[in-house]
Amino acid sequence: MEHLFGKSAYEGVVIGSVYVENNTTEKDDADDIPVYDIQSEKEKLDMALESAISSLEGLKTGLTGEIEKKDLDIIDAHLLLLKDPVYIKDIEVYIEKNLKRADKAVKDVTEKYLGLFKKIDSPIYRQRELDIKDVSNRLLDILRSDEENHKILDGKILVTREIYPTELLKIYKEKIALKGIVMEYGGETSHVAILAKALKIPTLMGVDNIFAHQWNGDIILDTTEDNSCVILNPDENEIEKYTKKQEKMARRIRKINECANLPAITKDGVEINLYLNIGDSERHSDDDVDKSTVEGVGLLRTELIYMKSSEFPSEEKQLYIYREILKDFSRDQSIVIRTLDIGADKQLSYFKMHSETNPFLGLRGIRFSFENEDIFKIQLRAILRLSNEKNIKIMYPMITNLDEVDRANSILDEVKDELRRENIPFNENIEVGIMVEVPSVVLMAEEFAQKIDFFSIGSNDLTQYILAADRLSETVGDMYDSFNPAVLRGIKIIKDAADKYGKKVSVCGEMAGDPRAVVALLSIGIKDLSMVETSIPMIKALIRNINYQELVLLKNELLKCGNPVKVKNLLKEKIMYLD
């Protein structure tokens, strides 16, 4: 019996047989072509490109309505690459100059691109590297007429070095019941990890030297714990133990689903306000949660609207999109719209940002809006106009000092004056708040509390900046941990300042959708949580099975912990509610 450890992309317990993906490297036999075959090889390339584009477009059409739109965006990125004139021209020139077959040209040109990406130490470029490999593999399969036989994966656990996002989507579309995935590549923020979660496939990532092990017989895949693992050659006792764990998980899932549209009230009668984090389009056919059973939208990420556009969206276009996104929400429900938050890992295709050594500490969030005031004003006009129809609140991102709040509000006042002169109605008493993302806001929380109407804690960035650890990093990713006592103490400081001046405070980062983190946040006194829709049933189940007063007593114990391990162990004891 052997245990191999990795990181969980989606939790589950699976017992079954494996399919080990062939790890042999292809031979480049008979790559050379005569001069007179250059044109025919180019034509083969054109046909392969057309076939690949048609296949991806068909895949997207077939999955629309079944998979959330944001999870299908990877297909658009791959379509753009297949239509990239520079990439295609490089392959054609390679065929001409080196007298090589089209598949050999695709392989070698792609390797050149991958070599360039490898020189850039950035997780963003690591994902781009995977995207181009995905696209090139699709082209190579077509050019070599390799038939994809996904049926062999039905009911199996796939063991592979890495699987590409579009292949995973194709497996889903073909209704192949893939039980689980064990893979060597370990990018928890990758498209594959995101898709595994969306498709609910238990996935273990980051297993070292995956093909160096004997994958015989049944295995056990457990991705439910912090030390997620796969067990090779399990004995009867292990199989019995994990069979019981599977049954326990099934009961837990049933209980969670039963809570999806019930009130978020603790056992001792304390109401907790749950909100949704949404982007440019969160509407799909199988919504898990009735929108009327949440308090509203705690975070509308407007940058996605800009990122999907071919130019800066006009006032009218923004207003139309906001109305479409929010049409399932009533006027009574609170809607927090965050102003444009681009920069760092969020870029616009039609606007070249300045090259910076550390873009995460550069021109992003409100800083970009100040540098481009005309764009900021257009967005504020659209938001203010919408406030005449919905219960809208405005939130500024990446605020670091008090002057920025004053400057942003001054611009907001100018826009209000413009609308008044034009006799365009809006909510004169619209609330304005800030994202808490950087330590300077925590250290001056009381001063900020006197200037704003509400705080919304962006736990992802707050953790990143407090711990000086890039949450996308493959090298220091283990240091990024929202359960670090420093992060919890920072959140408590914000909560205390908000309470002192009668201001609202919520959490809209990933902590809000993590059961252990929710226990910690409730103990600190935060009762407003905003999360992705898929997290709502689980968090409601947690809330409905705990006593709020017991958690309040936990606060001091948590804040005295010296490291995140102790914090997690304390919290783990409090979420056995569904076992």
Q: What is the 3-state secondary structure (H, E, C) of 128-164?
A: HHHHHHHHHHHHHHHHCCCCCCHHHHCCCEEEECCCC
* Max Cα distance, the chain (Å): 82
Q: Residue 55: phi, psi to the nearest 5?
A: -65, -45
Task: Please name the residue ranges forming H helices in 269-372.
Answer: 303-308, 315-325, 366-371
- Read off the pLDDT of each residue in 267-291 and give the average, rounded to a whole number: 77
What is the pLDDT confidence band of residue 451, given thresholds at 50, 70 and 90? very high
Tell whether the model's pLDDT for residue 436 goes beyond 90.
Answer: yes
Q: Residue 509: phi, psi to the nearest 5?
A: -85, -170
Structure tokens at 491: 């959140």
Q: Residue 229: phi, psi to the nearest 5?
A: -150, 170
> Residue 282's pLDDT is what?
47
- Read off the pLDDT of each residue in 515-539 and give the average, rounded to a whole number: 94
> Residue 375: in which H helix or E strand, if any?
helix 373-386
Structure tokens at 383: 């938001």
What is the pLDDT confidence band of residue 25, given thresholds at 50, 70 and 90? very low
Distance between CA 18 and CA 367 in Å, rounded? 51
- State the burial class of residue 150 (Cβ atoms within 10 Å of its Cβ: 0-12, 13-18, 19+): middle
Give how far Cα 285 sits from Cα of 59, 63, 65, 66, 258, Å: 17, 11, 5, 7, 19
Helix (H, G, I), strand (E, B) or coil at 306: helix
Q: Which amino acid is at 258?
A: E
Residue 91: CB atoms within 10 A of its CB come to 23
Distance between CA 69 and CA 170 in Å, rounded? 16
Tell whether the model's pLDDT for residue 330 goes beyond 60.
Answer: yes
Structure tokens at 146: 């390799």
What is the pLDDT confidence band of residue 198, given thresholds at 50, 70 and 90? confident
Residue 442: closest CA among 466, 421, 460, 418: 466
- Read off the pLDDT of each residue in 423-434 and give the average, rounded to a whole number: 98
Q: Residue 13: phi, psi to the nearest 5?
A: -130, 125
Q: Residue 180: phi, psi to the nearest 5?
A: -175, 170
Q: Residue 80: phi, psi to the nearest 5?
A: -60, -40
pLDDT digits (tens, 9 = 90+) for 223-233: 987 668 999 99
Residue 90: CB atoms within 10 A of its CB come to 17
Q: What percent of the chain has pLDDT over 90?
A: 58
Tell whether the model's pLDDT for residue 429 goes beyond 70.
Answer: yes
What integer best gives the mean pLDDT of the chain? 88
> Residue 146's pLDDT is what?
58
Residue 534: closest CA among 202, 285, 260, 303: 260
Tell whether the model's pLDDT for residue 284 goes beyond 80.
Answer: no
User: Which residues, including other chains, have CB under 8 Å from residue 158's CB and lie 6 or more apart?
Assistant: 18, 19, 21, 178, 180, 181, 182, 183
Distance between CA 170 and CA 150 in Å, rounded? 9
Helix (H, G, I), strand (E, B) or coil at 553: helix
pLDDT digits (tens, 9 = 90+) for 169-185: 889 888 899 999 999 88
Structure tokens at 524: 């600190």
Strand segments, DSSP code E, in 343-430 are 391-396
Distance between CA 5 and CA 268 in Å, rounded? 40
Percentage helix, strand, coil for the chain under 3-state DSSP, each rounded to 5: 50, 15, 35
> Residue 187's pLDDT is what?
64
- Read off the pLDDT of each residue in 487-495 and give the average, rounded to a whole number: 98
Distance between CA 59 and CA 286 in Å, rounded? 19
> Residue 183: in which H helix or E strand, if any?
strand 180-183
- Read off the pLDDT of each residue in 447-470 and give the average, rounded to a whole number: 95
What is the pLDDT confidence band of residue 234, given thresholds at 50, 70 and 90? very high
Catalytic residues: 191, 508
> Residue 416's pLDDT is what?
98
Residue 186: closest CA among 477, 447, 448, 404: 477
> Residue 283's pLDDT is what?
46
Start-to-end C-alpha separation, the chain: 27
Residue 263: CB atoms within 10 A of its CB come to 12
Structure tokens at 257: 């689903």
Long-range contacts of 171-177 (CB under 8 A, 24+ apart): 172/63, 172/67, 172/199, 173/59, 173/62, 173/63, 174/150, 176/150, 176/151
Strand segments, DSSP code E, in 302-439 are 334-338, 391-396, 431-436
Helix (H, G, I), strand (E, B) or coil at 542: helix
Distance between CA 561 and CA 410 in Å, rounded? 42
Q: Residue 230: phi, psi to the nearest 5?
A: -120, 140
